[in-house]
Amino acid sequence: MATSTVDVETTSDGTLVVQPHGCLDAGDAVDLRTTLVHAVRTIRPLRLVLDLHDVAALDPINAGTLAAACHLGDDHQVAVFVHAATPELARQLTAAGLPHDRLREPAA
């Protein structure tokens, strides 16, 4: 990703945590989508957490990508949740189609 990075780690309970950093814009969309699709379709954890605590801004393309990851997870029996989204990011994500019940642990 040009201006941001994505960290991926597995916790001790098997949850896969995807943590993007920075401002996600159109230049980041392909890498983020590739990471998420690989995680859901290939790794197939029981739970995937999108940790947004270090995301400053999100463009509409990436908001749609994150919302689509939840629906893709449903298709592949992977529970996808979004953690630590600011109120503005949460608004963008729900407008993009993210089910409100997938938002967990709002940002402080």
Tens digit of each residue's pLDDT, the chain (108 residues) = 445 589 999 999 999 999 999 999 999 999 999 999 999 999 999 999 999 999 999 999 999 999 999 999 999 999 999 999 999 999 999 999 999 999 998 765
> Which is it for the CA torsion 62, 93, 20, 45, positive or negative?
negative
Q: Are 29 and 36 in contact (CB under 8 A)?
A: no
The helix/strand/coil state of 96 is coil
pTM reported for the whole predicted model: 0.90
Residues 6+ positions from 35 with CB-CB distance below 8 Å? 6, 8, 18
Q: How many CA atoms lie within 13 A of 102 on its CB side?
A: 27
For the chain, give every domain's residue range. Answer: 6-104
And the tokens for 99? Answer: 């089910």
Give the model's pLDDT for residue 105: 82
Give the model's pLDDT for residue 1: 40
CATH fold of 6-104 reads: Transcription Regulator spoIIAA (3.30.750)
Give the model's pLDDT for residue 106: 78
